[in-house]
Amino acid sequence: MDAQFGAVEGGGTKFVCAIGSKPGDIRNHVRIATTTPDETLGKVAQYFQNIRLQTEIKSIGIGCFGPIDPNKGSSGYGRITTTPKPGWGGADIVGSLSTVGLPIAFDTDVNAAVLAEHRWGAGKDLTDLIYVTIGTGIGGGAVVNSELLHGTSHPEMGHIFVGREAGDESFNGVCPYHSDCLESRASGPSIQSRWGKPPEDLPDDHPAWSMESRYIARGLANLTLTLSPQRIILGGGVTIRSHIFPMIRNQLTKELSGFKQDGLLANNIDEYVVPPSLGTASGILGGIALARNEVAND
Amino acid sequence: MDAQFGAVEGGGTKFVCAIGSKPGDIRNHVRIATTTPDETLGKVAQYFQNIRLQTEIKSIGIGCFGPIDPNKGSSGYGRITTTPKPGWGGADIVGSLSTVGLPIAFDTDVNAAVLAEHRWGAGKDLTDLIYVTIGTGIGGGAVVNSELLHGTSHPEMGHIFVGREAGDESFNGVCPYHSDCLESRASGPSIQSRWGKPPEDLPDDHPAWSMESRYIARGLANLTLTLSPQRIILGGGVTIRSHIFPMIRNQLTKELSGFKQDGLLANNIDEYVVPPSLGTASGILGGIALARNEVAND
């Protein structure tokens, strides 16, 4: 058996825990409901304490919903900072696992996902890529020069300004902070709010999808012009509706092609905007990838 | 005398050449008018051939207007790709200097500037910063994890979407590719076109500056949310009008503060958006910094 690592995918509705080493070697999956921080994180710590009685693991990687403080030197390191989720503002994720006694890596869910795709998936052999999740919220993580992009803390790509599409002027969006950011206008809840039905109940030919693909393309155009990545990976619940990939690609081509910069797109558009090749496992594999990076040369 | 390096700052109206090693040690400045590529680049090559008769230089760094192809492995390496400037599309900048017989570094003007500010200026001791120039055009370069951001080729931050500010709906912008990108709505020529006077002729209390600062703040908000830098350096002709710095800072605070992410701004806003500390020398010093990086350990 390969050396084993712990992984946590921390989300607003559940915390998924597992151990493993790579795609195809993930075991002991459990799902813990996200209730209070004490209860949820207590169960996560208990999971790893139990695991260690049976299996040696070298480190734990946590990809968590945010915003978070991922800076080891900071007084707030290891915590969720501010979140509209009741009780979770300031929750000490890393501290709650200190009783486990293992090295811990802590990052955003989307940075974990992009790291896994970079190591094993659609970003393998690339140096620069972006992972964007479009679901209940919208967030993005990036690898630049083969390293995770953090900057001061971590990007908040879901909150970039995208304006209002023609015919959508009267909709005020769903983000509590901005009416005209990408999350406000293209997240799952924005579709529900605008059309009265959740994305999974809207047929492929519903006008919601044309509008959705235009907003996403505008967001991806801005990310392309800022980071010039080799590839953008689109995950999250909304993008399970895979008919929107061709729509997004067509619209993004229009957004960028007027600006004829040779070389801005390394691949043709079909290879530029792609689903995660690790599928829904990119989250938990992100935890594994973070854990491996935390201990040298794994 | 410290080891000497060559530098070229290639612009749409002039190519500035010099040799030197660092701030305070720049010599033999010449300005060569940008006419045809053959004539201009011939004079640049001649300059360095003459210099080498008197002074040993180790390498040459070129920061050039773009878009360019900076990828050494590419068939188009060393060239300007597409540009509205007549005759310069495809111009072979690096090839034209091959007769000089020195190692050559080739990058965008803004990547050169951000590199110089990172090495010696307002980005010293930082790992993540952005340099944005606001002048005839708008462009941006970035350092991420202490390395230049290239991705596929180089960013085109001036072309991110910023929409139209209230009261500016009828102005169609000046960018040939996008009516609503940052360059289209906030470059020097857009000010001239909208108000009938160039920026240098507009008094500090002219309404142009309030609108200008709102567009710039919106662009900087998007760059902040995508790259989470520690600092943004604003250069270029428009920002010589330094009264707009407080206006931009106030507006950017509004754009970001609604979204209360602790930690997204490492510094207070006065230290977050700053002018280049190398002033107008950041361009030629960028060439020196590129040249130094080209030969190991300099």
pLDDT tens sequence across B206-245: 999 999 999 999 999 999 999 999 999 999 999 999 999 9
Chain A neighbours among B 1-40 (CB < 8 Å)? none
Task: Based on the fold, state whether residues A126 and A243 are members of the same structural domain.
Answer: yes
CB neighbour list of residue B167: distance below 8 Å, 6 or more residues apart = B211
pLDDT digits (tens, 9 = 90+) for B143-190: 999 999 999 999 999 999 999 999 999 999 999 889 999 999 999 999
CATH at residue B220: 3.30.420.40
Residues A239, A158 share a domain: yes
Q: Closest partner residue to B159 among A71, A225, A265, by Cβ?
A: A225
The pLDDT of residue B24 is above 80: yes
Q: For chain B, what is the mean pLDDT?
A: 94
Residue A89 resides in a domain: yes
Distance from CA of B15 to the nearest CA of A (A): 22
Q: Are residues A146 and A256 in the same domain?
A: yes
Per-residue pLDDT for B260 more than 90?
no
- Considering only the beta carbons, identify the residue of A67, A145, A265 that sits closest to B261: A67
Do A206 and A75 belong to one domain?
Answer: no
Q: What is the edge-to-edge ordering of all strands in the sheet holding B129-134? A: B147-148, B138-144, B129-134, B231-235, B273-274
CA distances to A46, B31, B97 from B9, rounded to whole Å, are 60, 10, 14
Q: Which tokens hold the place of A161? A: 């300004």
Q: Are residues B128 and B143 in contact, defined by beta-carbon separation less than 8 angstroms? A: yes
Among residues B4, B248, B235, which one has the least CA distance to residue B122? B235
Picking from A163, A50, A153, the residue whose alpha carbon sits closest to that of residue A106 is A153
Above 90 in pLDDT, residue A177? Answer: no
Confidence of residue B263 (pLDDT cuts 50, 70, 90): low
Contact A160, A181 (CB under 8 A): yes
- Any domain includes A241: yes
Residue type, A203: P
pLDDT for the residue B1: 79
Q: CB distance A160–B226 less than 8 Å?
A: yes
A262 has pLDDT over 70: no
Residue A206 CB burial class (10 angstroms; 0-12, 13-18, ≥19)? middle
| B residues 69-128 closer than 8 Å to A (CB) | 69, 71, 74, 76, 81-82, 128
B31 is a domain residue: yes
Q: Does A168 touch chain B (CB under 8 A)?
A: no
Contact B264 A225 (CB under 8 A): no
Check whether residue A240 and residue A285 sit in a common domain: no
Is the pLDDT at B133 greater than 80, yes or no?
Answer: yes
Of B76, B154, B264, the CB nearest to A153: B264
Q: What percentage of chain B carries pLDDT values higher than 70?
A: 96
ipTM for the complex shown: 0.95
Q: If residue B144 lies in a helix (H) or strand (E), which one and from where to where?
A: strand B138-144
A151 part of contact set with chain B, CB < 8 Å: yes
- Whether B262 shows a pLDDT value over 60: the answer reads no
Strands A57-64 and A104-108 turn out to be parallel
Distance CA A172, CA A48 (A): 44
Q: What is the pLDDT of residue A297?
A: 59
pLDDT at A145: 97
Establish if B114 belongs to a structural domain.
no
In a domain, A84, yes or no: yes
Task: Find the domain containing B55 and state its range.
Answer: 4-109+280-296
CA distance linking residue A178 with residue A223, whole number of Å: 18
The DSSP element (H or E) to which B117 belongs, if any, is helix B109-120
Q: What is the mean pLDDT of residues A271-297?
A: 93
How far is residue B129's CA from residue B231's CA, in Å, rounded to a whole number?
Answer: 5
B71 and B38: one domain?
Answer: yes
A131/A215 same-domain check: yes
Contacts of B267 (CB under 8 A, 6+ apart): B230, B231
**pLDDT of residue B78 exceeding 90:** yes
CA distances, B219 to each of A66, A151, B63, B124, B252 (Å): 23, 18, 23, 24, 9
Q: Are residues A266 and A154 in the same domain?
A: yes
The mean per-residue pLDDT over the stretch A180-201 comes to 97
Q: Measured between CB atoms, which of A71, A163, A261 is closest to B82? A: A261
**Residue B105 domain-assigned?**
yes
Tell me the mean pLDDT in the region B186-196. 98
Same domain, B93 and B135: no
- pLDDT given for residue B259 in this prediction: 59
Q: What percent of chain B has pLDDT over 90?
A: 88
Residue contact A156–B71, C-beta within 8 A: no
Tell whether A66 and A32 lie within a shared domain: yes
Question: What is the total count of domains within chain A?
Answer: 2
Q: In the 3-class helix/strand/coil scheme, how is chain A assigned residue by residue?
A: CCCEEEEEEECCCEEEEEEEEECCEEEEEEEEECCCHHHHHHHHHHHHHHHHHHCCEEEEEEEECCCECCCCCCCCCCEECCCCCCCCCCCEHHHHCHHHCCCEEEEEHHHHHHHHHHHHCCCCCCCCEEEEEECCCEEEEEEECCEECCCCCCCCHHHCECCCCCCCCCCCCCCCCCCCEHHHHHCHHHHHHHHCCCHHHCCCCCHHHHHHHHHHHHHHHHHHHHHCCCEEEEECHHHHCCCHHHHHHHHHHHHHHCCCCCCCCCCCHHHHEECCCCHHHHHHHHHHHHHHHHCCCC
B195 burial (CB, 10 Å; 0-12 / 13-18 / 19+) is middle
pLDDT in tens, A121-176: 999 999 999 999 999 999 999 999 999 999 999 999 999 999 999 999 999 999 98
| A103-132 tens-digit pLDDT | 999 999 999 999 999 999 999 999 999 999
Tell me, yes or no, whether A117 lies in a domain. no
Inside any domain, residue A116: no
Q: Is the pLDDT of residue A214 over 70?
A: yes
Mapped onto helix, strand or coil, the DSSP state of residue B124 is coil
Asked whether residue B110 carries a pLDDT value surpassing 90, the answer given is yes
**With 90 as the cut, is the pLDDT of residue A260 above it?**
no
User: How far does the CA of residue A43 sit from the closest CA of chain B (Å)?
Assistant: 28
Do A127 and A271 fall within a single domain?
yes
pLDDT tens digits along A55-106:
999 999 999 998 999 999 899 999 999 887 889 999 999 999 999 999 999 9
My answer on whether B144 and B84 are in the same domain is no
- Average pLDDT over chain A, rounded to whole? 94
Return the pLDDT at A176: 87
